[in-house]
Amino acid sequence: MTTIPLSLEKLLEGQLTYMNQFYEVTAVSAEKERLEKYGRDNHVKTFCVDLTRAITPLKDLKAVFSLYKFFRKERPTIVHTHTPKAGIVGMLAAKLARVPIRLHTVAGLPLLETTRFKKEVAQFGRKKNI
């Protein structure tokens, strides 16, 4: 899961296609048309969620609820997020939906340059002993 499909294209280039040989993979992101093209090009299912890169509390809560319903319906074993907004929204929804394995990949060092409050929010639901 990423906030926008461009991140799927650049951060995970070829990885979802490869993993789809062994697991049932669904790419989750915003921008429906571009996400669906990504799914076709990479032979994976897609689920579009209305995310923005900005802090938009009401829209973010709607995204958490949408993802929660999707995760409860699909019952994934693993949810893996990338990008800050997808991490916060996706990990919260996955925790609420009781997804057993929740992973977030931090690319770069954004947590080293932020406030303690933002660090706590970004790490919500993280298992400490993995």
Q: Is 88 exposed, middle or buried (0-12, 13-18, 19+ CB in 10 A)?
A: buried
Tell me which residue of 98, 72, 35, 113 sits closest to 16, measured CA to CA.
Answer: 35
Instruction: Tell me the whole-structure pTM to 2 decimals.
Output: 0.81
How far apart are alpha carbons 36 and 38 in whole angstroms? Answer: 5
CATH 2.60.40 is held by the domain 5-122: no
Structure tokens at 60: 């973010």
Confidence band for 123, pLDDT divided at 50, 70 and 90: low
Digit-coded pLDDT (tens) for 2-54 = 999 999 999 899 999 999 999 999 999 999 999 999 999 999 999 999 998 88
Domain residue spans of the chain: 5-122
Q: What confidence tens digit (pLDDT) does each residue in 62-94 have?
A: 999 999 999 999 999 999 999 889 999 999 999
Amino acid at 85: K
Residue 109 has pLDDT above 60, yes or no: no
